[in-house]
Chains A and B, each alone.
Chain A
Amino acid sequence: MEVRRRGGLRGTFGLISAYAKLNLSMALEYRVSFASQVIGMFINDGLWLVFWALYFTRFPVVKGWQQQDIFMLWAVLTLGYGVMMGLFGNASRLSFLILQGQLDYYLVLPKDALIHSLLGRMYFTAWGDGLFGLVVFALFGHPTPLRVVVYLAVSLLGGLALISTVIIVNSLTFFLGSTQVLSGQLYNTVIHFATYPMDIFQGVVKVLLYTAIPVFFVSALPVAVLRQPTWPALGLLAASSFALATLAYAMFHRGLRRYESGNLVNLQS
């Protein structure tokens, strides 16, 4: 089954903005819970930096990486992840939605099924990640107007690469059947690899991190661009992120042809 609709770029941004407002207002109905989740995730990320601070206190330079570099890696990764998963919270649940036939909700609505289904849920804790990234950059990133612009650009492009990868691993369910656990594990794998310096990996694994598990474009390249911004490097990052997004979009819609309805056609209240 495939139903594809295009609403134009302006329409898509309008939809994202409307969903963001609705989801945020829903979150703010339960302010304590929302704040608790955001603060919890902020502290969670902070404790990872404590680990790296302890590590780099003992080993100040490892393969050219210093404490400052790993802090910037976390600043970039958490902001990209926070914004993307905050807005498109259903990305990591796509496999579940496909398996349960719950894409039906989005197929009957007049917008692109992928974008719409991703927007269906806001991942509240992700805002804690996003906030954490901004604070770490403000404290350790030596912010200047130029660096702030570069930081925001590379974080969002890295986040686009990440969410595209998440869509791809979740779309495997269209082709392989029940891959919910596998998709979840692949998702965790990508995130886990992305939080470590790529230079510690060698051989086949390094090749995989450039290709099948494209961690290089999620964290390593954005951090490299932030460290030394050049137009070609920024262009490469933008091109690879949009290429991954196109691949994710195409894979989802190709998979949608194989989708079987769960007979759940009704309107979401």
Chain B
Amino acid sequence: MLRRAGKYTGVFRITLMNNLAYIQDVALNSIFMLVVIFVFVALWKTTYSVTGEQSLGGFTLQQTIWYLVMTETITMSSPRITTRIDAEVKGGDLAYSLNRPYSYVGFQYASFMGEAAVRFFINLAVGGLVAGLSVGFPAGGALEAAQATASRVTGATGAVGVAGVAGTAHLLAVVSASALTILMAMALYFTSMMALGLLAFWVEDATALFLVYERSMWILGGLLLPLSLFPAAIRRVAEVLPFRFIINGPAQLAVKYAAGDFWRVLAGQATWLAVTVVVLALVYRAGVKRVNINGG
């Protein structure tokens, strides 16, 4: 079991090192992240200023911007594997991996995560810097919230020591919950996109399908707008789809952590992951039967 996992850890490590070797290119690619967050800051500063509200859909300006940093980081860091898989199926490269001592899907997942890991931290750093300089860093807010809670509990106004401990514990809970739900979100993204990419076994060109799926995920998953700002009817539709567990769930937890929400998001992710893994396995098995190997 460990030896089997070791193969994929190796693939992960090699992809990671490969991406780190071209870190300048990855960093240059994150210029777009900077632009996107900058534009969001301009849009939402204007929106909050025009409405005169402190909170919209339960989000302050700072929370909205940091929510968008998280949603953009998750989506921009996820490699576009549909086109890669599509090309490998059509070009016949997939056939080469069939007699190798690893699972094609496992190999792709390890490679996907290796690439995503580098992109994730760079995008988060770039987006976070723009957001932090524009609307402040959220850790301060978490500490203040914990301090206020501690003050209420102890009845003292200067309960800094208790607040410090509570703030650190809160921060740890936010970071671990975010890390876990982001990893689950990436897995969910990978399994669904991989299954779509494998449709190349049957469909001549699935570009339209990829775009529709991805853009639906962006809109209904809350990439550009928190779900709480959606009209009620559309929010109800978004809530029954898996997209919110890829984008909205982890991002909202990172900026507005609540233990109850964490367990709800995790349960939703686990359920949908189980569904997409089964679908992926079925699609892969059916697809591989259609491979024709003619020597070479």
B201 to chain A, nearest CB (A): 15
User: Could you say which of A32, A59, A63, A125 has the most chain B C-beta atoms within 10 Å of its C-beta?
Assistant: A59
The B187-243 residues at the A interface (CB cut-off 8 A) are: 204-212, 215-216, 218-219, 224-225, 229-231, 234
* A40 adjacent to B42 (CB under 8 Å): no
* B46 adjacent to A33 (CB under 8 Å): no
Contact indicator per residue, chain B 36-65, by CB within 8 Å of chain A (1) or not (0): 101100110111001100001100000000
Hey, which chain A residues are within 8 Å of B57, CB to CB? 58
Hey, which chain B residues are within 8 Å of A50, CB to CB? 219
- Alpha-carbon gap, A44 to B207, bound state (A): 11
* B207 adjacent to A36 (CB under 8 Å): yes
Hey, which chain B residues are within 8 Å of A55, CB to CB? 225
Cross-chain pairs A/B with CB under 8 angstroms, 26 sampled? A30-B205, A32-B204, A37-B205, A40-B211, A41-B211, A43-B212, A43-B215, A44-B212, A50-B219, A51-B219, A51-B224, A54-B219, A54-B234, A55-B225, A58-B56, A58-B229, A62-B46, A62-B47, A62-B50, A125-B207, A182-B28, A189-B35, A192-B35, A192-B36, A200-B42, A205-B42
- Besides A39-B208, A61-B50, A200-B46, 7 other CB < 8 A contacts? A32-B205, A33-B207, A47-B219, A125-B207, A185-B32, A196-B43, A200-B45
- Which B residues are closer than 8 A to A by beta carbons? 25, 28-29, 31-32, 35-36, 38-39, 42-43, 45-47, 50-51, 56-57, 204-212, 215-216, 218-219, 224-225, 229-231, 234
Closest 9 CB pairs between A and B?
A40-B208, A40-B211, A33-B205, A47-B215, A185-B31, A36-B205, A181-B28, A36-B208, A200-B46
* A57 adjacent to B225 (CB under 8 Å): no
Hey, which chain B residues are within 8 Å of A58, CB to CB? 56-57, 229, 231
* A185 adjacent to B224 (CB under 8 Å): no
A197 to chain B, nearest CB (A): 8
Known: A40-B210, A54-B231, A192-B39. A47 touches B218 (CB 8 A): yes
Contact indicator per residue, chain A 171-182, by CB within 8 Å of chain B (1) or not (0): 000000000011
* A37 adjacent to B42 (CB under 8 Å): no
B286 to chain A, nearest CB (A): 21
* B208 adjacent to A201 (CB under 8 Å): no
A1 to chain B, nearest CB (A): 28
Question: Which of chain A's residues has its CB closest to B212's CB?
Answer: A43
- Alpha-carbon gap, A62 to B36, bound state (A): 19
User: Could you say which of B211, B218, B234 has the most chain A C-beta atoms within 10 Å of its C-beta?
Assistant: B211
* B215 adjacent to A185 (CB under 8 Å): no
* A33 adjacent to B234 (CB under 8 Å): no
Hey, which chain B residues are within 8 Å of A33, CB to CB? 204-205, 207
* A200 adjacent to B43 (CB under 8 Å): yes
- Alpha-carbon gap, A62 to B45, bound state (A): 11
* B230 adjacent to A59 (CB under 8 Å): no
Partner of A59, one of B50, B207, B218: B50
* A59 adjacent to B204 (CB under 8 Å): no
B142 to chain A, nearest CB (A): 27
- Alpha-carbon gap, A50 to B224, bound state (A): 11
Hey, which chain B residues are within 8 Å of A62, CB to CB? 46-47, 50
Hey, which chain B residues are within 8 Å of A246, CB to CB? none
Question: Which of chain A's residues has its CB closest to B217's CB?
Answer: A47
Known: A54-B231, A192-B35, A196-B39. A37 touches B207 (CB 8 A): yes
- Alpha-carbon gap, A59 to B25, bound state (A): 38
Partner of B215, one of A44, A125, A182, A192: A44
